[in-house]
Structure 1
Amino acid sequence: MARNWLSYAGYMAAAQLLAACSGDPARNTVADSVVQDQNATAPNATAPMAERKLVLAFGDSLYAGYGVAQNESFPRQLEKALQARGEAVEVRNAGVSGETTQGGLQRLAFTLDGLPRKPDLVLLGLGGNDMLRGLDPAQSEKNLREMLDMLKARQVPVLLTGMLAAPNMGAEYAARFNAIYPALAKEYGLPLYPFFLEGVIGNPDYMQADSIHPNPAGVDIVAGKIAPLVAGALRAESAPDGG
């Protein structure tokens, strides 16, 4: 998987992406994301909320839908993929472009408190921007651990979606960064999708011109790959013994 990163347009492109996606976090508030997501038409929009599982997609631009229409974003495509599997589910988009693990930690409680009820599952996908900025993997891991501790305290199940370091970051950095997600998944007993861009990165048919964000076809592939894990996690939590 890691070798696919070599097809990136170089680390300068990643730096340009970071500048383009960051901006003022206030422009990409969670409230805005959720309102946009609610306004999109979903096949199960008429089903009573009480009959639907609530999934919160909490991440960065890969979740938020950078460069694609809101109804083509990962949360929306994931919801469609789950519904196609017969799942009654609503996926809320709480992705913010340019978000780091530190920013995620600062807004997680606010996001959870703003939901109509406790989510049945949180998809946590942060760390990519930490890597692009060259932030210390130890700090990224600490921030992710604090988020997981918060979710555990609230008794909210989590599915982690991981990221891999670009080769430009060097072997030592990559070894430290790439170990974060498997280690946390093992420590907390969480399901893990190891690399969010698996199956699309490096293929121009599935990537936007920046070679970093998937286009609608790529998002559809990612959502299709992750949907079975989400369905399994939801069913495990709804089992009488909790799994």
Structure 2
Amino acid sequence: MIRRYGRRAAVRRALFGFGLYLIPIALPAAIPGPRAAEPVRLLMLGDSITAGYGLDHAEALPRRLEALLREAGAAVTVVDAGVSGDTTAGGRSRLDWALADDPQAVIVALGGNDGLRGVPPAETYANLSDILARLKARGLPVLLAGMLAPPNLGADYGREFSETFQRLAREYPEAVFYPFLLDGVAGEPSLNQPDRIHPNARGAEEVARRMLPAVRRLLSKVQGG
């Protein structure tokens, strides 16, 4: 009896040990944790200021804005859609091409070259209104960055040009309005390149810093943001 019991106990121990060995294999695979959210794609449709004329790639406004947003904890990729010399008409004509990057929000930063060339404010208005209407139809949150005309074109032209952006802000109240893209930088020699038009590296950083709160309001409008 003792031997039989000993053999049975040994068999039970062996089977028990074998069962423990099998249990981990029978358990389902670990459930992976949630994937990190993809960065929001923020398109910046602009001219040479957006394109970073005269600056290294890392010093350009889109890159500095992206860096500040990420430092603030926002997962954002700023897509540079700046073309040096572009007018509002040029931005209007290439809008669909720029949207091929499938952005979730858009900054419209055009108009500087219209002012430099003395484009009639009515044309600037028509071009920007068309851009904003098309973005609205796509359900894309927008930030409209205003611009001022150079003083050598006269006070009347300057008023009409500035009013163009104010009018658009009233007609598209859902858009975030940043009245002057170069606020705090225009006219400051230490923040501009020798041409006195384009921000230098410090100037681009200052533009990004000043417009950051408005851009964060824009991002708050992104679905799921």
What is the TM-score of this pair, normalised by structure 2? 0.81
Please list, as runs of the form range in 1=range in 2, the aligned pairs for 1:96-115 lying within 5 A after superposition.
96-113=83-100, 115=101
Distance 2:42 2:36 in 1: 12
Say whether 1:187 aligns with 2:171: yes
Equivalent position SS for 2:182: coil
Structure 1 CA distance for aligned equivalents of residues 81 and 37 of structure 2: 20
- Give identity over the alignment, percent: 47
Match of 1:54 among 41, 44, 68: 41
1:157 partnered with 2:144: no
Amino acid at match of 1:138: A
- Measured after TM superposition, the shift of residue 49 of structure 1 is 8.8
Q: Which amino acid aligns with 2:136?
A: K
5 Å-filtered alignment, 1:38-187, equals 50-113=37-100, 115=101, 117=102, 119-187=103-171
Which runs of no fewer than 5 residues in structure 2 stay unpaired?
Answer: 1-34
The Cα of 1:77 is off from its aligned counterpart by: 0.4
Cα deviations by residue, 1:151-179 (Å, 9 ceiling, x for unpaired): 11111111011110111111111111000
Aligned length: 190
Counterpart of 1:230 in structure 2 is: 215
Q: Return the alpha-carbon distance in structure 2 between the equivalents of residues 202 and 177 of structure 1.
A: 18
**Contact residue 47 and residue 83 of structure 2 kept, 8 A:** yes
Structure 2 CA distance, aligned partners of 1:186 and 1:84? Answer: 32
Q: Which amino acid in the other structure matches residue 109 of structure 2?
A: G
Higher relative contact order (CA 8 A, sep 6+): 1
- TM superposition shift of 1:84: 1.1
Question: 1:237 offset after TM fit, Å?
Answer: 3.1
Amino acid at match of 1:144: L
Aligned partners of 2:85 and 2:212: how far apart in 1?
A: 24
- Secondary structure, aligned partner of 1:51: coil
Q: How much does 1:124 deviate?
A: 0.2
Structure 1: 4+ residue segments shifted above 4 A: none
Q: Deviations over 1:67-86 (max 9, x none)?
A: 10111100000000111111
Give the superposition deviation at 1:204.
1.6
Q: Which amino acid aligns with 2:148?
A: L
Q: 1:91 is matched by which residue type in structure 2? A: V
Deviations, residues 197-238 of structure 1 (Å, cap 9, x unaligned): 111122221110001111000100110111111112211334
Partner secondary structure for residue 222 of structure 1:
helix
Rg larger for: 2
| TM-score when normalising by structure 1 | 0.75
Shift of 1:239: 6.1
User: Does 2:156 match 1:205?
Assistant: no
